[in-house]
């Protein structure tokens, strides 16, 4: 797949050196700070066509999932470029809260990261430190696509300070219990609920509409809304009424379904009519 993507990706060469400050993605951090509404989706299929199609729909950002997919690092870097070429922010849901994993995603040129299973302020602080250069963080300095292969490290370093997005994914009941401390962590720009794992942590995986899960969500909603802190939710089913429901509850950073759900659900619905 990487070879196929590389063959398709020659057009990206001219995008590698675009100044990030002139792109739409630089506004995402500010929108999160202002608790403005943004909507994105989830990339699990590593192909240019998926991004081209979703870009036509008008999403603000797309997240490439490295936790639950077979997407490799070469594919990741090419997908980031495709997303940015459509003037959308390219986020990466990394596989875990680990230094090298986060560093590689950011060095590939991602505009931000979503870090899974953040359960405490200490873990949130670790994520920020892995993403930011000293003296703020502990990120090692290397030269890759993000730094324009060494031609603009100083510019990129400034961009990281001003525009890099770090999202803590709350998907365990411990994260809910510690939500106030997590969102108080300097460098965390927002949170996003992972409903499947959150329900799993309560012993009922996939049953995220059960009262015990909804009660946990109410706690997150109350604290984030009171603090005017950006909160997100991954709406799995591709139904607009669910997006409206979450937006009405105060969620302003909404991931709307996934590439395969959009395709699969629509195909199933139409075939059922036939």
Q: How far apart are CA 132 and CA 148, in angstroms?
A: 17
Pairing state between β 253-258 and 231-235: parallel
Distance from the first to the final alpha carbon of the chain: 34
Contact 147, 153 (CB under 8 A): yes
Q: Is the pLDDT of residue 1 over 80?
A: no
For helices 48-57 and 259-273, give the axis angle rounded to 10 degrees.
Answer: 80
Structure tokens at 125: 């602080």
Q: Work out the pLDDT band at 10, boundaries 50, 70, 90.
A: very low
CA distance 271 to 262: 14
Which residue is associated with the tokens 């849901």? 93
CATH code matching the domain that covers 2-273, chosen among 3.20.20.60, 3.40.350.10, 3.20.20.70, 1.10.3720.10: 3.20.20.60
- Mean pLDDT for 240-266 is 96
Show the DSSP H helices in 69-210 as ranges: 73-85, 99-107, 121-131, 153-163, 173-177, 179-183, 195-201
What is the pLDDT confidence band of residue 27, given thresholds at 50, 70 and 90?
Answer: confident
Q: What pLDDT, on a 0 to 100 scale, did the predictor assign at position 45? A: 97
What residue ranges do the domains of the chain occupy?
A: 2-273
Q: Which segments of the chain are extended strands (E)? A: 38-43, 61-65, 89-93, 112-115, 165-170, 190-193, 231-235, 253-258
Is pLDDT at 61 greater than 60 in this prediction? yes
Active-site residue list: 68
Average pLDDT over residues 9-28: 45
pLDDT higher than threshold 70 for residue 102 = yes
138-187 confidence digits (pLDDT tens): 999 999 999 999 999 999 999 999 999 999 999 999 999 999 999 999 99
């Amino acid at each position: 797949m990487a070879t196929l993507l590389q063959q398709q990706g020659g057009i990206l060469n001219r995008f590698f050196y675009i100044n990030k400050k002139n792109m739409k993605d630089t506004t995402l951090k500010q929108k999160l700070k202002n608790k403005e509404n943004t909507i994105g989706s989830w990339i699990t299929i590593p192909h240019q066509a998926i991004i081209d199609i979703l870009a036509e729909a008008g999403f603000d950002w797309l997240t490439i999932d490295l936790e639950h997919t077979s997407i490799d690092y070469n594919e990741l870097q090419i997908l980031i470029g495709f997303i940015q070429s459509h003037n959308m922010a390219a986020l990466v849901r990394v596989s875990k809260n680990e230094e090298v994993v986060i560093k590689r995603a950011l060095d590939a040129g991602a505009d931000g990261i979503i870090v899974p299973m953040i359960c405490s302020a200490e873990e949130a602080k670790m994520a920020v430190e892995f993403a930011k250069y000293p003296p703020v963080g502990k990120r090692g300095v290397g030269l890759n696509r993000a730094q324009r292969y060494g031609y603009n490290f100083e510019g990129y370093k400034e961009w990281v300070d001003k525009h890099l997005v770090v999202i803590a994914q709350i998907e365990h009941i411990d994260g809910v219990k510690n939500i106030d401390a997590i969102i108080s962590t300097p460098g965390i720009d927002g949170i996003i609920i992972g409903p499947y794992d959150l329900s799993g942590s309560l012993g009922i995986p996939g049953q995220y509409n059960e009262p015990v899960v909804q009660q946990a969500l109410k706690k997150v909603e109350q604290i984030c809304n009171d603090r005017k802190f950006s909160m997100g939710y991954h709406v799995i089913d591709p139904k607009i009424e669910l997006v409206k429901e979450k937006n009405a509850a105060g969620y302003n950073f909404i991931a709307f379904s996934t590439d395969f759900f959009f395709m699969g659900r629509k195909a199933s619905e139409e075939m059922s009519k036939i």
